[in-house]
Chains A and B, each alone.
Chain A
Amino acid sequence: MPQVSLTVNGKQHTVEVEGRTLLVELLREKLGLTGTHVGCDTSQCGACVVHVDGLAVKSCTMLALQADGMAVTTIEGIAAADGTLHPMQEMFREHHALQCGFCTPGMVMTAIDLVNAHPDGLTDKEIREGLEGNLCRCTGYHNIVKAIAAAHPLMHGQAPKAAE
């Protein structure tokens, strides 16, 4: 079987996979990183979003072998080593941006990429457009948008805003 070598959450792995093994299958089934979810399995819902070389991608629509030599970050890899949550995770908690939580890992990974890509600020409209590829069936999105807006200054080194 072919082998894929990649870095996941800072740790190097070399794993035997089939040609058809998806990146999300590698993460969940070979590496036990089940925080990345499979929702629709048709690249619509975004529950499987991870970062590959720093960019949000749908891990259900990428072959594991395509990620050879690349650096993958999953929801398990964003908190600090001492367990301190990433500002985006903290703001999701603060603003009650999840109910059942199924879409949350993908939402958080998409949101971090979105904030990284817009250092000068994000309007609510830009946040909503940025979430186009992530579906949530519980929250109605309002609190997710609030959480991302609140995380933006924290991630870019500014003082936190109080929760509404």
Chain B
Amino acid sequence: MYDFAYQKPASVADAVKLLGDDPDAKALAGGQTFIPVLKQRLAKPSTIVDLGKLDLRGITVGADTVTIGAMTTHAAVASSEELKAKIPGLQELASWIGDEAVRHRGTMGGSLANNDPAACYPSAALAMDATIKTDRREIKADDFFQGMFTTALEPNEIITSITFKVPQKSAYEKFRNPASRYAIVGVFVAQHANGVRLAITGAGQGGVFRHTAFEQALSSNFSPDAIAGIATPPDDLNGDIHASAEYRAHLINVVARRAVAKAR
């Protein structure tokens, strides 16, 4: 790892200023992706701005929305009984990220800001029409994810919280890479009063995406059979040593049907 200066600001405003003052500074949330990236010398920040002291933790369950602080760990999301009763799909998703030790450090805000094409949370944000609140504005999930490892965030912009619309039913299902536990294909389905939203992670060349053909079919008939005959073109899907684009296209249908079947 290259060395760097280290700062641990006590307020969001100070963190934004530190990031803004130095174009080569980078924010550190839980570090479960970023520290491995640093170890591989894939990034060479001048300064690490550790967000660990910021008061951005907690889960607030309302009637129609759930708001989660950006620095809330995956373990906290996975162990919230209140959340499990409200959005079971989101609680289960968190319980499957990495392993317990990783979940004790990794954060929701860090995952969304990184927008790894195989990360789980982006699919939940899209499927539950989430609003991503930052130090300066609110961004709809539909506008936030802009391609692999790319988001609408400015270089010195910090996510403070994420607000999900509570669906009537939800589920997350993933087909994991057996070594990394990342999704080869992950599907989050959410049935809302005004229709179904379904997002796919792990499979798209451009990162997470909504599957509009599935959404339309499921909005009129919320059952696995409704999408059984809908094929996904492999053209824009990832192909790598783990799975070809054609295999991922096949898995999308299988995993989506499993998600719909278990939605509650």
Residues of A within 8 A of B (CB): 2, 18-20, 22, 41-44, 46, 49, 52, 55-58, 61-63, 65-66, 68, 110, 113-114, 130, 132-134
Contact = CB atoms under 8 A, between A and B. Distances in A.
B150 to A, nearest CB: 24
A55 B75 contact: yes
Contact of B31 (A61, A68, A132, A134): A61
B39 interface: yes
A63 B39 CA distance: 11
Contact of A18 (B3, B8, B100, B179): B3
B8 A130 contact: no
Contact of B99 (A18, A20, A66, A132): A132
B101 A57 contact: yes
B240 to A, nearest CB: 18
Contact of B100 (A41, A43, A62, A132): A132
Interface of B: 1-6, 8, 28, 31-32, 35-36, 38-39, 48, 50, 52, 75, 98-102, 104-105, 179, 181
A133 B102 contact: yes
Contact of A20 (B4, B50, B101, B105): B4
Contact of A66 (B3, B50, B181): B50
A49 to B, nearest CB: 6
Given A20-B2, A61-B36, A66 B100 contact: no
Contacts of B39: 41-42
A81 B4 CA distance: 39
A43 B6 contact: no
21 contacts: A20-B2, A20-B38, A43-B35, A46-B101, A49-B101, A56-B100, A57-B104, A58-B102, A61-B102, A62-B105, A63-B6, A63-B28, A66-B50, A66-B52, A110-B100, A113-B100, A130-B100, A132-B99, A133-B98, A133-B102, A134-B99
Contacts of A130: 100
Contact of B101 (A18, A41, A133): A133
A41 B50 CA distance: 21
A114 B181 CA distance: 20
A2 B48 CA distance: 13
A41 B40 CA distance: 11
B213 to A, nearest CB: 34
Contacts of A133: 98-102
For A19, A49, A132, the residue with the greatest tally of chain B CB atoms inside 10 Å of its CB is A19
Contacts of A110: 100-101
A156 B86 CA distance: 31
B100 A2 contact: no
A11 B76 CA distance: 28
A62 B35 contact: yes
Contacts of B3: 18-20
A61 B105 contact: yes
Contacts of B4: 19-20
Contact of A43 (B28, B75, B102): B102
A11 to B, nearest CB: 23
A19 B99 CA distance: 26
Given A56-B100, A57-B101, 13 more contacts: A20-B1, A42-B39, A43-B36, A43-B98, A52-B104, A61-B35, A62-B35, A65-B8, A66-B52, A132-B99, A132-B181, A133-B98, A134-B99
